[in-house]
Amino acid sequence: MAMVRRKRATRRDWTRDEVKELKKHSKDKTRVKTISRAFKRTPAAVRHKAHTLGIPIGHRRSKKK
């Protein structure tokens, strides 16, 4: 039985434009999943960058009564 090799994730630095766009997404209250697809990065990477920048991200929707 052959072992399946996973593709290793390669680290990419964040560009100024990406940081600017991430801040815009934070203001627009965009979901993390949507942002991660736009940047082609993992949701964890997006959350980590937002945390290091000190901006809120991944806004939860309030429950309707």
The more confidently predicted of residues 33 and 64 is 33
In a domain, 58, yes or no: no
Task: Judge contact between 57 and 34, C-beta under 8 A.
Answer: no
> How many domains are contained in the chain?
1
When pLDDT is averaged across residues 28-38 and rounded to a whole number, the result is: 93
Is 6 part of any domain?
no
Q: What is the pTM of this model?
A: 0.77
- Structural domain contains residue 61: no
Mean pLDDT of 38-46: 94
Query: Is pLDDT larger for residue 7 or for residue 46?
Result: 46
The verdict on residue 1 lying in a domain is no
Q: Is residue 23 part of a domain?
A: yes
| Calpha distance 33→44 (Å, rounded) | 10
Q: Which residues are within 8 A (CB) of 46 and not within 5 positions of it... i.e. 6 or more apart?
A: 22, 32, 35, 36, 39, 57
Is residue 65 domain-resident?
no
Domain residues for 39? 16-53
